[in-house]
Amino acid sequence: DGGITQSPKYLFRKEGQNVTLSCEQNLNHDAMYWYRQDPGQGLRLIYYSQIVNDFQKGDIAEGYSVSREKKESFPLTVTSAQKNPTAFYLCAARGPTPSTDTQYFGPGTRLTVL
């Protein structure tokens, strides 16, 4: 999981702003995922992508958007429509083959709304 990077580590957002969280991987894995973690809770799936130029909504996609223009990159935008965005955001990649279920996580981005 050292091959997955997320930036920034900490991010502060003002009300009404859109912010974009970066996720990059050099593992050559096809599938990537975004999860949100709230204090004392498990991880919930926001969006996922199984292949370049394709992505699907997860369980809590409202107020978020993603793109997958390159295999190694899967950025997440938190829009102003997300009413409670303060959370720890984790990106994951699954591989090394499409039949592998194992997901490895990046170090996370902690987003705080001011």
Partner 1 sequence: GENVEQHPSTLSVQEGDSAVIKCTYSDSASNYFPWYKQELGKRPQLIIDIRSNVGEKKDQRIAVTLNKTAKHFSLHITETQPEDSAVYFCATTSTGTASKLTFGTGTRLQVTL
Site residues (vs partner 1, CB under 8 A): 1, 31, 33, 40-45, 48, 50, 56, 58-59, 90, 94, 100-108, 110
Structure tokens at 96: 């090394």
d(CA 114, CA 97): 41
Distance, in Å, from the CA atom of 72 to the CA atom of 29, rounded to the nearest integer, reads 8
Q: For 1-114, where are the E strands, in sequence order?
A: 4-7, 10-13, 19-25, 31-37, 43-51, 54-57, 64-66, 76-78, 87-94, 103-105, 109-113
Q: State the minimum distance, in angstroms, from the CB of residue 72 to partner 1.
A: 18
- Between 10 and 14, name the residue whose CB sits nearer to partner 1: 10
Taking the least distance from each CB to partner 1, the nearer of 19 and 46 is 46
Min separation Cβ 81 and partner 1, Å: 23
Least distance from partner 1 to the Cβ atom of residue 44, Å: 8
* Shortest Å, Cβ 15 to partner 1: 25
Q: Residue 87: which of 40, 38, 19 has the closest Cα?
A: 38
Q: Output 8 or 18, the one with its CB closest to partner 1.
A: 8
Task: Decide whether 22 or 80 has the Cβ nearer to partner 1.
Answer: 22
